[in-house]
Amino acid sequence: MPVAANIYLIKDLSRLSGHSVHTIKFYLKFGLIQETGRSPQTRFRYFDDSTLARLSQIRAWRKQQKSLADIRALLGASVGG
């Protein structure tokens, strides 16, 4: 039986990751993270566990004093594009 993925809204990501909603929205615009879907009725963005893991990795790189441009390049290389 397949395991259901956890689905989060931006406010959930903020609470779980420790990033502010503003920061998460900035990372979306900057291309560091992507939504996994949207509600057709409310237009709310949906995210999953992979986004939460990516935010954790971004935080670790920021603590290492990496720039957002460097992080974007690292993430692009890690996903092959």
pTM for the full model?
0.85
Amino acid at position 6, single letter: N
Identity of residue 50:
S
pLDDT at 5 (0 to 100): 77
Q: Which two tokens stand for residue 81?
A: 């594009």
pLDDT at 80: 44
Domains of the chain: 10-78 (1.10.1660.10)
Residue-by-residue pLDDT tens, the chain, 81 positions = 556 679 999 999 999 999 999 999 999 999 999 999 999 999 999 999 999 999 999 999 999 999 999 999 999 876 544
What is the 3 state secondary structure string of 7-73? CECHHHHHHHHCCCHHHHHHHHHHCCCCCCEECCCCCCEEECHHHHHHHHHHHHHHHCCCCHHHHHH
Which pLDDT value is given to residue 4? 62
